[in-house]
Amino acid sequence: MTKPVPYKRERPEGHPPYLYAPYVSTIKRAPKRALIRLDHTLSEVTGPGFASGWAGPDKADLTRQYAGEAIGARIILAGRVLDEDGRPVPSTLLEIWQANAAGRYIDKADQHNAPLDPNFSGAGQLITNERGEFRFLTIKPGPYPWRNTYNAWRAAHIHFSVFGPAFATRLVTQMYFPGDPLLPLDPIFNSTADAEARNRLVSAYDPNLSEAEYALGYVFDIVLRGRAATPMEA
């Protein structure tokens, strides 16, 4: 049995804290006791693999899941999943979910008074290719109000779930759009102290990715934890 190779520790300023009072829901849900530091064992450096296809078929086109086409501005959302050392993360499951163009989720719990689109679920998934690349076709989501504080609005965003190679690399995040005036006011976006880490959550408009007469292109790369240096590599 070879020894498990651990992953790098996360930089505290590179992620949000559990307790972040401007996001009111954290107040009753953040643990009070300090976390117990766990050196990675075999249980943390392994994790579910998706290359065999057991997670089901890719659903990379969110605009044509029903009889009609979804309403809204079509966007191509493409990027790579990498680790901190720039290595691609192939064959991992990416799931996305989002509100429709009017800022309404299909979720039953969303009671925002904006129209549902019968031709848009807002859910997609795919397995990254051997270069860690992904490409979705979807609709630009609308911003929507939430009850965090009076007259608060979430910046337009798309939720991303990604596994990576190990239990330790599991990440759920949100992707934002450049130039959104709600970004400086959004406490979820601003919960990460480090500006560079925050800005990585903002996709980039890429005219070369756009398709003429059809869809706008946005690039979003996702960077997962890399491996800690090992004596072999030193």
Partner 1 sequence: MTLIATASQTIGPFFHFGLGHPEWTDLTAAGPTGARIHIEGQVLDGDRAPLDDALIEIWQANAAGKYDHPEDSQDKPVDPKFHGFGRCGTDASGWFRFTTIKPGRVPGPGNTLQAPHIDVSVFARGLLKRLVTRIYFADEAANDADPILSRIQDPNVRQTLLAVPTGERGPVITYRFDIILQGEGETAFFEI
Would you name the residues annotated as active-site residues?
105, 144, 154, 157, 159
Q: Is 212 in the site for partner 1 (CB under 8 A)?
A: no
Contact flag: residue 234 with partner 1 (CB under 8 A): no
Q: CA–CA separation, 135 vs 128, rounded Å?
A: 9
CA 60 to chain centre: 15
Would you count residue 147 as binding partner 1 (CB under 8 A)? no
Nearest to 87 by CA among 232, 223, 234, 230: 223
Residue 227 interacting with partner 1 (CB under 8 A): no
Among 57, 67, 113, 172, binds partner 1 (CB under 8 A): 172
CB 120 within 8 A of CB 65: yes
Q: Find the binding residues for partner 1 in span 52-71 (CB under 8 A).
A: 54-56
Q: At its nearest, how many Å lie between partner 1 and the CB of residue 97?
A: 2
192 sits near partner 1 (criterion: CB under 8 A): yes
130 contacts partner 1 (rule: CB under 8 A):
no
- Which positions ≥6 away from 27 have C-beta within 8 Å? 19, 21
Picking from 109, 93, 79, the residue whose alpha carbon sits closest to that of residue 218 is 79
Please give the structure tokens belonging to residue 198.
Answer: 């925050």
Asked if 23 is part of the footprint of partner 1 (rule: CB under 8 A), the reply reads: yes
Which CB sits closer to partner 1, 149 or 211?
149
Q: Does 2 bind partner 1 (CB under 8 A)?
A: yes
Interaction of residue 110 with partner 1, rule CB under 8 A: yes
- Indicate the residue among 74 and 159 with the shorter CB distance to partner 1: 159
CA dihedral 215, 94, 172, 176 (to 10 degrees): -10
Q: For the beta carbon of residue 104, count every other beta carbon within 10 angstroms.
A: 21
Indicate whether 188 belongs to the interface with partner 1 (CB under 8 A): yes
- Beta-carbon contacts of residue 159 (< 8 Å; ≥ 6 apart): 96, 97, 98, 172, 173, 174, 175
Q: How far is the CB of 231 from partner 1 (least distance, A)?
A: 16
Interface with partner 1 includes 74 (CB under 8 A)?
A: no
Q: Is 10 exposed, middle or buried (0-12, 13-18, 19+ CB in 10 A)?
A: exposed
- Report the residue from 30, 116, 204, 228 that binds partner 1 according to the rule CB under 8 A: 30
State which of residues 60, 71, 106, 152 lies at the interface with partner 1 (CB under 8 A). 106
Residue 209 or 227 with smaller CB distance to partner 1: 227
Q: Which stretch binds partner 1 (CB under 8 A): 70-78, 127-135, 210-218, 221-229?
A: 221-229
**Binding of partner 1 by 211 (CB under 8 A):** no
What does the alpha-carbon distance between residue 67 and residue 55 come to, in Å, rounded to a whole number?
Answer: 24
